[in-house]
């Protein structure tokens, strides 16, 4: 669902997330954080944390 949209934003520069996308990303990250993850999911989490940090820095 949201994974395809997020992956499109990760390629190249990190696009600014909308507030809804930010909250969805945080929820998905939290879900992954609380379970055993695959290498692919861990890589995805690294991308997600970059997006989350970029959003939070731009909305201080």
Do residues 25 and 45 make contact, with C-beta atoms less than 8 angstroms apart?
no
| Domain locations in the chain as residue ranges | 2-58
Question: Is 4's pLDDT higher than 90?
Answer: no
The residue with greater pLDDT, 11 or 38, is: 38
Mean pLDDT in residue range 51-55:
94
Distance CA(60)–CA(37), nearest Å, equals 31
How do the residues of the chain divide into helix, strand and coil, expressed in percent and rounded to 5?
Answer: 75, 0, 25
Alpha-carbon gap, residue 32 to 28, rounded angstroms: 6
Residue 21: its pLDDT value, please?
Answer: 94
pTM exceeding the 0.75 threshold for the entire prediction: no
Which pair of structure tokens corresponds to residue 39?
A: 């290498």
Interval 17-34: pLDDT, tens: 799 999 999 999 999 999
If we measure between CA atoms, which residue out of 48, 35, 58 comes closest to residue 7? Answer: 48
pLDDT band for position 3 (50/70/90)? low
């Amino acid at each position: 669902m949201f994974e395809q949209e997020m992956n499109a934003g990760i390629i190249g520069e990190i696009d600014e997330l909308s507030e809804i996308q930010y909250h969805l990303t945080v929820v998905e990250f939290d879900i992954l954080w609380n379970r055993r993850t695959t290498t692919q999911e861990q890589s995805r989490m690294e991308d997600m944390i970059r997006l989350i940090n970029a959003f939070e820095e731009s909305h201080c």
